Amino acid sequence: KTPIKQPTDGSRLAPDNRAYNRLLRGLRWQGERGFAILIGRWKTLRHTNISPRRIGDIVAAALHLTHFEYKYLSESC
């Protein structure tokens, strides 16, 4: 999803459009923060040439290990 741009004539966005942009911004920061943590923690994710089909499994495993490391997951996993 892309945010709705500000009108070029200087007027403000409609309240619905501002709320839509605010919701997108609220969702986007979480993904960007998570990706930054993964890239900073796992050097293998910085420069990879793995196919897009396989990278999802590797990122999921790295995310699970990172959550375990930060104790976001229970010890029984």
For the chain, the domains span: 15-74
| Confidence grade of residue 58 (pLDDT, cut at 50, 70, 90) | confident
Closest CA to 17 of 30, 4, 7, 33: 4
pLDDT tens digit string along 22-57? 999 998 888 888 888 888 888 878 888 888 888 888
- Of 14-18, 40-44, 49-53, 65-69, highest mean pLDDT: 14-18
Residue 40: both structure tokens together: 């900073």
pLDDT band at 18 (very low <50, low <70, confident <90, very high): very high
Residues 69 and 63 sit within 8 Å (Cβ to Cβ): no
- Its pTM stands at 0.53
